[in-house]
Structure 1
């Protein structure tokens, strides 16, 4: 039986494994991908100070440190069930059944699909798939592409594709519908982009964005937003055009687009065809929580965190004994925040398993590091992250109080 099993070999999982191993706890990490690193493997971007964040290099450093400490990695393994049995967790994988005293779920996030007519054609993929193809496997997704969905994630990956020499013809919105919702609303999309306007590569864009403080100024800006879009890193970002359909006989040949008004409604007689040989669909991210649901965790829907998240404490503990969570399963944030959360989870696990209070000081420092990392984050995927975190932590405290009352009644 293992001391700790970690599901997910991404930034949170590996960081937690390192902390546990340093404390003398035996750790095994499983992941369905063929190599450890998770979302770090696809990341490459320039920081505001001019330095480069290279996710592959960061992953290699973490993996090397973990292996030197004796952490065991088992890759290409999927977990399909888990349950608490006595004083241990039994985790069922496609390879074997693993027993562990403590279990950390660091399963990360998944991409939200935006159904568009023609999206089953070869050459259509999620924006994350294009990132992995380019940055991890060194395979071009195509020669000339269109990105459908303008958000923080797609903008960052578009830059990575451009750096790799992949031509992005343009980024534009999906046609507004009950399914696409805010993703097809030019005003809502503009709001999300203004939150990261300080990272715009052009002084003109930063200056113009700074003027859009009021709703009236935002609407004015949209009204005169050029149909050809503003170029960001040479890529036209078009908020007044939407993709109606992806076309092609046997593979992607292009997209049918239409001009849209300020509210996202199509303008008559403006349809036209744009040639492309691949299309990326970008619907955003949501926490990957299926295993937490199988375990029996309580959940709370928190829009600021990207969807349903398992209720947990700031120390990454859930309401189930020996079960912890860290990383994007707890809410959509950066890889750096996930790494810091993994350290918190590692100290919490070591503290419980070893029955010692000697980790109080490093645990407190790790908690402070999470908050500092969050405050310094250049990009926040959703506004109001702190508010969302407070909701979850308050829900955990309420759960603790209710459990305490139940125990008091039973003893009485």
Structure 2
């Protein structure tokens, strides 16, 4: 008899399964990939302290800890539906139907595609795909590449590609359009980067970021932005150039770019071609929340969290009895935050299952730990994440006060 089914074997799912199992709940984790770890498997970066964050080692640690607690981890299992029947959740998969009193959805995030002419050529991939091919499968994606899109995710993975000896020639913006949105507007891109300037490695860059919060100063900075770009870990960021086409016969051979003004408008007659044998498109991330929608969970669109997220409380419950969420499905953040949320969800499930003892204290500590980890996060995909969290929790308190009273010893902050 299974008590908890966790959908997703990434950092949130594994951490949630561990907390459930530690609380005496029989737990099964399912994931469509061939091995557990999720996004952790592709992560490798140096923290501000000088220590290295090795996602594969972290994944191995979590997996071993879960298995030592008798968590059943089943990979290669895809979920296509889940529904509540009587007091049980039925999770329908390609390997049959599983049932449990509680379900934790920890499906993570997916990448926004930015289509442009030539994007179906061999050698074109998302920036996340390049990360997985490099760090997980140990495949060299190419010898001379271009990244289209300038955001935190692109810069983080750029560094990982460089560590693997893969040369990225330059970073350009996508052409402004309905699908690229703000990603094709230099003024908006610079604003998003300066919002994250508190994470910069030097006090000079942090000061520069604070100064660039002024719209007038940003426009001036863009006007005088160096023609050859500003180097990000050795790769030039060309903030005033946009990709209008990826060219090639049987595979990627280059990218046609054009100069743009501060608002992303193409400057006629400025086109040129940069050679490349691979292209990474960096459109950013959004919560992968389809399964919560299939289950009937209500949603709210909150840009500060990365898009549409299921209604949930700070202890990771949803309005649907027995359904919990954790990780990037609730808003785009780092792997460490996802793990902290998973632990919170696990103890929250244990509390709902009637487990006594120190569960209340553990849940309180887990909630506080999420706040602490978020505040100390080395990478923030959305600088206004705290505002987004406040919105979703205030909405929960407003809409589900009666349900929240059952957990009146856990404050929403």
Deviation at 1:381, TM superposition (A): 1.1
Cα distance change of structure 1 residues 351 and 10 upon mapping to structure 2, 3 Å threshold? same
SS in 2 for 1:2: coil
Q: Normalization by structure 2: what TM-score?
A: 0.95
Aligned to 1:174: 174
After TM superposition, list the pairs within 5 Å mapping 1:2-401 onto structure 2. Answer: 2-200=2-200, 205-206=205-206, 208-356=208-356, 358-401=358-401
Deviation at 1:201, TM superposition (A): 5.4
Q: Is the 8 A contact 2:305 2:331 kept in 1?
A: yes
Deviation at 1:358, TM superposition (A): 3.5
Q: State the distance in 2 between where 1:140 and 1:158 align.
A: 14
Q: Normalization by structure 1: what TM-score?
A: 0.95
Q: State the distance in 2 between where 1:165 and 1:348 align.
A: 44
Q: State the distance in 2 between where 1:34 and 1:187 align.
A: 41
Deviation at 1:178, TM superposition (A): 1.8
Deviation string 1:132-166 (CA, Å, 9 cap, x unpaired) is 00011110111111100000101110111011100
Deviation string 1:41-69 (CA, Å, 9 cap, x unpaired) is 11111111211111111111111111111
Q: State the distance in 2 between where 1:194 and 1:397 align.
A: 33
Q: Is the 8 A contact 1:227 1:241 kept in 2?
A: no
Deviation at 1:204, TM superposition (A): 6.3
SS in 2 for 1:354: coil
SS in 1 for 2:142: coil
Q: State the distance in 2 between where 1:361 and 1:355 align.
A: 12
Structure 1 residues not aligned, in runs of 5+: 405-412
Deviation string 1:5-60 (CA, Å, 9 cap, x unpaired) is 00000000000111111111111000011110011111111111211111111111
Q: State the distance in 1 between where 2:303 and 2:212 align.
A: 24
SS in 1 for 2:244: strand
Structure 2 residues not aligned, in runs of 5+: 405-413
Q: Is the 8 A contact 2:48 2:201 kept in 1?
A: no
Q: Is the 8 A contact 1:351 1:357 kept in 2?
A: no
Deviation string 1:206-264 (CA, Å, 9 cap, x unpaired) is 55445424222111111110121111111111101110000111111110011111111
Count the aligned residue pairs. Answer: 405
Aligned to 1:409: none
